[in-house]
Amino acid sequence: MTRSFTFGGLPMRVLFGHGTLDQLSAEADLLGMRRVLVLSTPQQRDQAGQAARLLGDRHAGNFDGAVMHTPTEVTERALETVRAHAIDGVVAIGGGSTTGLGKAIALHTDLPQIVVPTTYAGSEMTPILGQTENGLKTTQRDPRILPETTIYDVSLTLGLPVALSATSGLNAIAHAVEALYAPDANPIVSLLSREAIGALARALPAVVDAPGDVEARADALYGAWLCGVALGAVGMGLHHKLCHTLGGSFDLPHAETHAVVLPHALAYNAPAAPEAARLVADALGAADAAAGLHALALRLGAPISLAALGMREGDLDRAADLACRAAYPNPRTLARDAIRALLEDAFHGRAPSGAPAREQAR
């Protein structure tokens, strides 16, 4: 018998396909945008220019200063541009850094957002904002943060470098994994999560082997979308807390950090969430969930150690302290020494503790 649960569907509009960016102008009209600010990172100015051309006379300016972890000082500079150009809507084109900046602007202004993802971040599907101030990354949830429209254009991901495709995809899988053992998990989100993990586990090796494989790219973007929906529907636990700590306080790269930490966080939680671990293993086609994730990262050539990302071993104690500073929902009780041991394994790139040393996909 299905247990009782609560499911709150989020109000969002999604366009998915090939060449869907061509509908940007019409989508801006639907939201009443007349003076649009296009957001990007410095590396994605060309794609921002493409969006600007499609917007035509609705385009009122560009801000290409988006960076990882959404520093509040960058948001303030963007807000100055919003005010100076009388902006009434934003288009964020890029990955999680650009999406985060658009969300931060919306939190302050309640302006409508259109997001055009070019990676597999998934954050465009959530009313959650993670931002960094004074070396600490915090998150908040607010209806104003949720983008009104997301345009998924598979063609925009064809040039995504293999390394970023791998880490971005593993980052997306982390959303679905944690959704399976969240305290407010429900059957709908669990279905989405299992489908999402399976799609990405199939697609990412194909993308690594043949970056121009359009069908694999479409499958990966589809999986990332579902992972984002799962992230937005329920609360997150240890994995995301650790990654926010490592990114916000030690300036580690976002997607790569998720890729490294995920198998270890799941190995930590698996004894308290055996059904979630079983579902992850099934979706991966692996005998053990944590070892399967570790094997997938190796297969994709993704980083598997915090040391490789620039973490210093001397900072592991502080990271463990910060991760345990505040209570948050997690299936297994947070024990500072056990979290420190988890970080030690992740630092050295060891196989996840408690998982088989080697795992082969079935």
- The rounded distance, in Å, linking the Cα atoms of 154 and 271 is 38
Q: What is the tens place of the pLDDT at every residue in 288-303?
A: 999 999 999 999 999 9
Portions of the chain given CATH number 1.20.1090.10: 162-348
Assign domain 13-157 one CATH number from 3.40.50.1970, 3.30.930.10, 1.10.3720.10, 3.90.550.10: 3.40.50.1970
- The rounded distance, in Å, linking the Cα atoms of 154 and 132 is 30
SS3 342: helix
| Closest alpha carbon to 113 in 175, 189, 193, 51 | 51
Distance of alpha carbon 167 from the chain centroid: 10
Assign domain 162-348 one CATH number from 1.20.1090.10, 3.30.2350.10, 1.10.10.10, 1.10.3720.10: 1.20.1090.10
- The rounded distance, in Å, linking the Cα atoms of 266 and 10 is 27
Q: What is the tens place of the pLDDT at every residue in 169-202?
A: 999 999 999 999 999 899 999 999 999 999 999 9
Q: Which residue has the tokens 């000082």?
A: 73
330 pairs with which residues across the strands? none
149 pairs with which residues across the strands? 13, 114
Q: What pLDDT shows up at residue 353? A: 81
Q: What is the CA radius of gyration of the chain?
A: 19
Portions of the chain given CATH number 3.40.50.1970: 13-157
- The rounded distance, in Å, linking the Cα atoms of 180 and 154 is 27
Q: Is the pLDDT of residue 99 over 90?
A: yes
Residue type, 362: R
- The rounded distance, in Å, linking the Cα atoms of 144 and 315 is 36
How does the average pLDDT of the chain come out, rounded?
A: 93
| Closest alpha carbon to 242 in 330, 128, 118 | 330
Counting Cα atoms < 13 Å in the Cβ hemisphere of 192 gives 24
